[in-house]
Amino acid sequence: MRIMTHPEGSPAEYRRLDSLAKAGITLLVPPLLLLSNLYLLISPAFMNFQYALGLPPAERFTTEERVYWAKATLEYLRPGRDVSYLAAMEDEQGAIYTQRELSHMVDVKVLVDRTFLAHAVLLVLALISAVYLWGQPLGRLGLARALSGGSSLTIALFGLLGLFVAVAFTIFFDAFHRVFFVGDTWIFRITDTLIQLFPPAFWYNAAVAWAVLTMAEAAVIWLLTRMWVRGMRVREEA
């Protein structure tokens, strides 16, 4: 593949393209890290971690049953599953999910599918910008600085968001659902399976873990890119 380059003293349009690519990477780092971690949060491993922390007991299920049905529910979010997969779930007390819960889970899957699609699109845009900068004079320095700036932005944004979640989780939780779901379709009784399997404590832990993990990854990127910039300067001065 031939990478487009331009000489020193490039025309204004090339400088604008360079600036656009760097700004794009900086702005794409926060959502890319956040959405990448969603794959971890809906994994069986994270489910085991959550229940190992200790969640409030459920009336209908034992801990082992909760883990089993929670993992089975997460499987529904994988490609190739439809709501009939959840509707077929039963135990000795009958159907695991009510029709209202099934309707909500359809909405959840639509949201998750769209989120994964958005993640893929953003990743492609970031890779295009990175490849472009890699082939430009001083482009690698610009790429490193863009990644460093994006990681700093990520730490600032999710530091504030994490603090808000920690002190006002109920407000955050309600606001999130009112933005992404219609009416009160996301509100359930404490005896409903979705609350029995995924109580508010589950979502609090998940939100905090999501923010902390995203900031930790951003900190690693910041450190690595600062070392990268320092190394390039040393080589230039040698």
In a domain, 7, yes or no: no
DSSP 98: -
Name the domain count of the chain: 1
In a domain, 181, yes or no: yes
User: What's residue 3's pLDDT?
Assistant: 43
In a domain, 2, yes or no: no
What is the residue range of 126's domain? 12-237
In a domain, 3, yes or no: no
User: What's residue 229's pLDDT?
Assistant: 86
In a domain, 119, yes or no: yes
pTM: 0.86
The segments of the chain whose pLDDT lies below 50 read 1-7, 9
Contact predicate 27/155, CB 8 Å: no
Q: What is the C-alpha separation between 186 and 179, in angstroms, rounded?
A: 11
In a domain, 94, yes or no: yes
In a domain, 80, yes or no: yes
Contact predicate 158/30, CB 8 Å: yes
Q: What is the C-alpha separation between 207 and 186, in angstroms, rounded?
A: 17
- 7-to-10, 136, 237 alpha-carbon distances in Å: 6, 8, 21
In a domain, 4, yes or no: no
